[in-house]
Amino acid sequence: MAHTHHHSIDDLNETQKRVHRILCSAQNPLSAYDVLDKMRGKGAVTPPTVYRSLDKLIEKGLAHRLESLNAYVACKHPHDHQDMAAFAICENCGLVKEFTDPHISERLSHWSDDHAFSAKKVTVEIRGLCETCAK
């Protein structure tokens, strides 16, 4: 029995696949308008369509929204939705590194349990300077 991934790209429509490809090939996080801009080449798309596609990708765990940048990135490594997504954002060159840390996830879930808080999604954003820029 083949194990099917729930973040599968197969059940995305064409527009969603294009948005995903654009995010995957981008070096840096893209705003919805950046995505829209890059899609202009092949058939016009309206902003609502792009937003819906981005929401769909996020829902499927294929992309993340960086709240502090109001921008989107493709998920580099599919992780369980229970795992938090953490991003280190360089304020100088704009480099974004995605990582997961089980310890942080664990502490957050302890806090949630203690406070009877039901966490739906956790995105941790750390802003600062990357290794290259910090030198």
Name the pTM for this structure.
0.75
Per residue in 74-101, pLDDT tens? 987 665 555 678 899 999 998 899 888 8
Per residue in 119-131, pLDDT tens? 877 788 999 999 9
If phi over 0 gives left and psi between -120 and 50 gives alpha, with beta otherwise, what is residue 70?
Answer: left
* Spatial separation of the C-alpha atoms in residues 50 and 129, rounded to whole Å: 31
Other CB atoms within 10 Å distance of the CB of residue 52: 15
